[in-house]
Chains A and B, each alone.
Chain A
């Protein structure tokens, strides 16, 4: 969510305003927010929350070693394994294998996400813009969409049994999840554009192609980015499941494999890594969105 600098925080004179304006960009916004965050008590309560959670985990699994909990690895054990140069199970920040698994997961998500965007955004834009097109395409989408992405696993394997049979199903499943989110949100984005902008553009002599590139596309952009963020989230979710079911490398595969081999610390390492990377993907999209949509960043009247 974009934070706007309220009028009372803007410098008073025209000159200083103009100078400040020219410096305001995505990065200064980040710095500003960081400074704000550090001075608020809320941030520290938040940190306390995270520390408490880790503490609770430690207490339950290692300190008190309660009945069911003692089977799970505790934070100390995980940390030791993660930071050791010769980890017992071959995965730590010093082992290349760790980064290989990360690479495979990230690479697959990137590919899937790329295709979901390239195919999903234009499709969504047309569906939102032209009713006739939507009449033909929306029913198909709505009939197929209720089928959970992961129910496609066997069919995905069958579909690609001749072609790139190992990677393609996983990427397809990830793609599908992201695709639904992208198309729907893009379509909603177009529908959210006030009719008035279309009318104004027509008055000013815009032809359909102008309306598409200068009204439909920019108007839907906020929703498109929401869709992309959601898409990355659900895509990531599907990727892990797909990897667990049929992968050979990747973090999802790592989780399942280490479970099968009873290498419990690695499970936790992989889970945490998943969380962190997933978070960064989301944040990256949000930042790109904020940069492209400067008009929502800069002040509001």
Chain B
């Protein structure tokens, strides 16, 4: 009974109506070559392109390639970023020392590093991974810092009054309190990571969904462009959902009653 109520609730119905209307307008606009949609392929064309490309097995290689890059850069950002953020939270001097150079480097968009990375790293793959790493790194550090700063003073004082050792305070209070922020940072970092992956693949890649999207354009296969775009969207959404899922499992105390 409740399930049926949720499926047919006003909210869902309205949502469906608006999405369907949008698709209809898009289809009409493309077919009739109206304004901005004159060169844009219609949904129907996109769907037939999708069918074709799924039959061609190479499509999944591109998915894998992109996911692989995302994972590399993302994990590297976590491995370096989380401990760095925590270290900065623990020591005032270290924080001041590291924060300024970080703040100076942060406004430089990660993609601006592409040429420098290509010059420096021996392979294209490594340079792409480096740029991806940069993209996620700053977000991760900032979120860890934010989470650590928001730790309730009282918890720390309570622990100190129980006579806890510094390592205990770290592992049992600071780390768990920061975990939600770490995961938020991961989810946000994931979004940026995909942006960078896509752009890097377009600029300098030879495989992957971003490359697929760009190559479709260059090759004149316009409906495939949109297939690429939607694939990236889905891929990105799945990875963020995965992180949220893991995050919820790791922080059970955050569950709302």
Contacts and interface: CB of A to CB of B under 8 A. Distances in A.
Question: Direct contact between A and B in the complex (CB less than 8 angstroms)?
Answer: yes
Interface stretch (B37-45, B47-55, B160-168): B37-45
Contact of A135 (B14, B110, B210, B240): B14
Interface in A198-256: 233, 236-241, 244-245, 251-252, 255-256
A159 B39 contact: yes
A81 to B, nearest CB: 15
Interface stretch (B150-158, B214-222, B245-253): B214-222
Given A140-B22, A152-B229, A50 B100 contact: yes
B112 A240 contact: yes
B87 to A, nearest CB: 14
Interface string A282-295: 10000000000000
A45 B111 CA distance: 30
Interface residues of A, number: 69
Contacts of A147: 229-230, 232-233, 236
Nearest to A251: B112
Interface stretch (A85-93, A115-123, A264-272): A264-272
Given A135-B10, A147-B229, A161-B39, A237 B198 contact: no
A268 B15 CA distance: 48
B194 A241 contact: no
A170 interface: no
Nearest to A160: B36
A62 B108 CA distance: 23
B11 interface: yes
Nearest to B222: A158
A interface secondary structure, majority: helix
Contacts of A150: 195, 198-199, 202, 210
B12 to A, nearest CB: 8
Contacts of B105: 275
Nearest to A44: B96
Interface in B85-122: 92-93, 96-101, 103-116, 118-122
A42 B194 contact: no
B63 interface: no
B229 A267 contact: no
A48 B19 contact: no
Contacts of B195: 148-150, 237-238
B interface secondary structure, majority: helix
B226 interface: yes
A240 B109 contact: yes
A245 B202 CA distance: 8
Given A49-B97, A151-B198, A271 B116 contact: yes
Given A147-B230, A241-B109, A139 B217 contact: no
A155 interface: yes
Contacts of B37: 159
A155 B234 CA distance: 18
12 contacts: A68-B120, A135-B10, A150-B195, A155-B229, A158-B222, A237-B195, A240-B111, A245-B199, A267-B116, A274-B112, A275-B104, A275-B105
Interface of A: 42-43, 45-50, 52-53, 68-69, 71-72, 131-132, 135-140, 143-144, 146-155, 157-163, 233, 236-241, 244-245, 251-252, 255-256, 258-259, 264, 267-268, 270-272, 274-279, 282
Interface of B: 10-11, 14-19, 22, 36-40, 92-93, 96-101, 103-116, 118-122, 191, 194-195, 198-199, 202-203, 210, 213-214, 216-217, 222, 225-226, 228-230, 232-234, 236-237, 240
